Structure 1
Amino acid sequence: MLFLLAMLFLAGCSSPLTGQEHNGKLTIQTAPQARMTYVAIGASDTYGTGSKNPRTESWPAVLSRMLAHNGDGKMQEQSLGQNTVRLINLGIPGMHAHDALGVELPVAIDAHPNLITVWLAVNDLVDNVPPSSYAQDLERLLQDLQTKLPHVRIVIANVPDLTLLPRFSSTDTTQLAHSVASYNAVIQSVVDRHHVVLIDLFQAWQELASHPEFISDDGFHPSTAGYARLAQLFYQGMKQHRII
């Protein structure tokens, strides 16, 4: 696992190198420095499980392109190098908040990013981690990020309405709704305490009820179209809070 994370970090952080011959000598050119380094902390729904190509179709990948192109596909009035957003997607399927403290948090800090998104709650909820325990882990995650990276912009998403997902159609939706509400209350409390930006997916993604194409065939993870919509919701929320 540590080797996997190291390779993931290097893949996200290293600048492409190109060789060019000049006056008979081979010189190495690095890509222009990125305007922004963006780190995504999360689990399978950050990694991109359910999409056709997680590397390019996860919502952090789509969001990073939106950030680089001003959200509408049009290049900002900057050079290509200055406009580049370097994405380090730390999403690992099956990840819980407590495990992320030892696996994803150190990599995020070492990357010295300008922007961090955190969407890390659904696995904890589904696996019956008590909200109080989850609250302690999320609190520590944010405290460490803000202590080590005092100028970083942090965005946190809450839990969508899981009762709208086909996977839970045969479960006790009343109890599930209660669990979602408890987790979202915890997230709101931590967000308020640390003065970070909340993306309220519970409210914003109620449209799942009328857009089944946003969910993949497993009935749980977003589809390629769903990840594209999630990226829009994150981008809109960040624009609304004027952090981009």
Structure 2
Amino acid sequence: MATAFDYDNTSGRPPGVVMRVLSAVLPGVASVGSQTQPYAAAWRAGNAAALAADGPGADPLWVALGDSMTQGIGASAPDRGWVGQLADHLAAAGRPHRVVNLAVTGARVQDVIDQQLPALRDLLDAGLAPDLVTVVIGSNDVVSPRWRSGLTERFSVLLDGLPDGAVVANLPNPHREARRVEALLRQREGEGRLVVADMRAHGPRSWRGKLAADTFHPNDAGYAAMAHVFDVALGLAQPR
């Protein structure tokens, strides 16, 4: 159980040069960026509470992997991101889950491999097999030429570390590497190894009115749209 209580939802990396410059000149970027530490602390506390509730009759476990969007950065509160909203939808459908959120703001695919998958394996080794595993990652890779190269290969390593049946979001970005990741996800889905949460087909057609003050992260409405994509993947809703 050490992982459950000791896991840190931060990367330890300082903000990059671009983020520091934007935060200095754009109040919206600074405002949203200021959520990073308190939201990470909120999930760390929530994770401990979720794991402490383990035992006969406990709700099944959901482990969420990802980056700032899975932490809910940009939302009005940590539980108003897509994870919190989907948790509400699952509960309303009679399928409540305890959430362990391993996401880290700024995470790239390699960070999930290096930090989040080992934590998931520790939970499995402790006999805490999740009923649901979700993954939203890759946006921080695909927007940067430095990290875009080799993205599909890193994604393949990540997928190899997931339990069968994990629900993995695709990347709506039109870049060629995102399309290669899409092909990999569809191949794995065809093999019955994962379920694709299809952000391309079921995500919002427009982000107008759905972005936080930094104009990058979703706001509550944007996260509601992301939660709907997972609703569809989990059979809670029909596509709009």
TM-score under structure 1 normalisation? 0.68
Q: 1:213 to 1:5 in 2, by over 3 A?
A: closer
The answer to whether the 8 A contact 1:49-1:221 is kept is: yes
- In structure 1, what is the equivalent of residue 179 of structure 2? 184
The unaligned stretches of length 5 or more in structure 2 are 1-5, 11-40, 124-128
The alignment-based identity, stated in percent, is 26
The answer to whether the 8 A contact 2:204-2:225 is kept is: no
CA distance in 1 between partners of 2:51 and 2:7 (Å): 21
CA positional deviation for 1:160: 2.5
- In structure 2, what is the equivalent of residue 107 of structure 1? 119
The answer as to 2:47 corresponding to 1:12 is yes
Cα RMSD (Å) of the superposition?
2.9
The answer to whether the 8 A contact 1:62-1:228 is kept is: yes
CA offsets per residue over residues 86-117 of structure 1, 9 Å max, x none? 01112211101012111111112333211111
Give the residue type in structure 2 aligned to 1:212.
Answer: R
CA distance in 2 between partners of 1:207 and 1:91 (Å): 26
The answer to whether the 8 A contact 1:37-1:114 is kept is: yes
The answer to whether the 8 A contact 1:188-1:198 is kept is: no
- In structure 1, what is the equivalent of residue 216 of structure 2? 220
Q: 1:129 to 1:237 in 2, by over 3 A?
A: farther
CA distance in 2 between partners of 1:213 and 1:126 (Å): 22
Higher strand share: 1
The unaligned stretches of length 5 or more in structure 1 are 18-28, 71-75, 77-82, 147-151, 162-176
Correspondence 1:1-244 to 2 at 5 A: 4-5=8-9, 11-15=46-50, 33-54=57-78, 56-70=79-93, 76=94, 84-111=96-123, 112-129=129-146, 131=148, 133-146=150-163, 152-161=164-173, 177=174, 179=175, 181-193=176-188, 195-208=193-206, 211-239=207-235
CA distance in 2 between partners of 1:190 and 1:124 (Å): 16
TM-score under structure 2 normalisation? 0.69
Q: How many residues are treated as equivalent by the alignment?
A: 193
